[in-house]
Structures are given as structure tokens and as C-alpha cells.
Copies of this chain bind each other. A is one copy, B any other.
Amino acid sequence: MKTKAQHDEDTVEQGPLGTRERIVRTASRLMQRQGYEASGVKQISQEAGATLGSLYHFFPGGKQQLAAEAIRHGDREFADILGEMLDSRPDPAGAIDDCAVALAEGLHASAWLDGCPVTATALGAAGHLPDIQRAAAEAFQRWRELVYEKLRGAGIAEDEARELASTVISTLEGAEMAAQVARSEEPLRAAGRQLARLINSYR
């Protein structure tokens, strides 16, 4: 016999989500598109199909607590995708280029609305909302580490791999923002090609 929680953990990803999870996902998506300040708790609860009372039941810390959880959700979401892309081919340069192209196509498909799930929220909170800033810093750090391990596995030395991984994430972040603002895939496609060249220069 399983408890409900155990059943939910086993469930791969489909089926009716719990209220708390629906709220987190809705908050993550809205803040990704609009940023922290522009995403109201009323809007979030409405679009999540929950009531304001439920939102404050699960998140007594209010909007700040919810935003921090939303960032952690976006963190895991992107880390999963990045991990899969990196595992899908042996050479790191090609994998990163694939990643940039996938980001470009995904952004285009969303009508240039869905940029990085962390950036917009983090920038609105930088400097005066420590919990949110910390969650964002941890997300970037995790993504850098995924790239770092891939580069190490390809035989690149520690110091070089660390600096290179940092630059790969920075460039993808910046290019995604540039692509979103320009409403064009080009900045991301260019970044992918240039990052591949840079990585290959270490072989």
C-alpha cells in the first residue's frame, strides 16, 4: 500500500497535479515571461486554477517564498534539458551548439516570450530580495557545473574547463536575451557556432 505522496513521486509526470505544484509551475511560467514585479499573486492563483487562500496556505511566506520556489523549479527544468543535450553526443562543442539551436527554436516557438526561466525574476530581485537572488545564483552554478563536467570528460584541464564552462553559460544567457529582444534566432545561432569554435580551440 502506498501513501498519496509516494504515488505522486512514482508518477512520471502526467495526470492531475496537486494544487501546490500547479501554483509553482504557473508562477514560474509567468515570472519567466513578465518578471517578478509584474506577476501578481492574484493572477498566479487564477491561472493556476487555485484560490488566493490556497496560495497563502501553501506559501505563508507570500510572494517572495513563491518566487524562490518558482526559480528552483525553473532551475531543475533547465538543468534536465541541458543534461540531456550534453549526454546526447560525445563532443562538447557540438552538444553546446545543439543546445543553442534548441534554445533558439524554443524561444521562437513561444513567440519570443519564454526566455530563461530565471533571468527575469532574478534581475527584478537583485540587490533587495536575498532569498530569490540566492536561488538564482544556485541555478547558474548548477548549470555551470553540468558544462564543466562535460568539458572535463572531454579531457580539458580543470582551470580551463571552469573558465570555459562559466563563459558558455554566460554566453547562452546573454544570447537568449539578445534573441528575445531582437525577436530573431540569429544571436543564439551565432553564439552556438562561436562557442563550438572556442571549445574546439582547446583540443
Contact = CB atoms under 8 A, between A and B. Distances in A.
Q: Give the interface size class of chain A.
A: 35 or more
Interface stretch (A19-27, A49-57, A74-82, A174-182): A174-182
A126 interface: yes
Contacts of A44: none
A129 to B, nearest CB: 10
A123 interface: yes
Q: How many copies does the complex hold?
A: 2
Interface of A: 33-35, 37-38, 111-113, 115, 119-120, 122-124, 126-127, 133, 136-137, 140-141, 162-164, 166-167, 169-175, 177-178, 180-183, 186-187, 190-191, 193-195, 197-198, 201
Nearest to A33: B127
Contact of A198 (B120, B178, B186, B198): B198
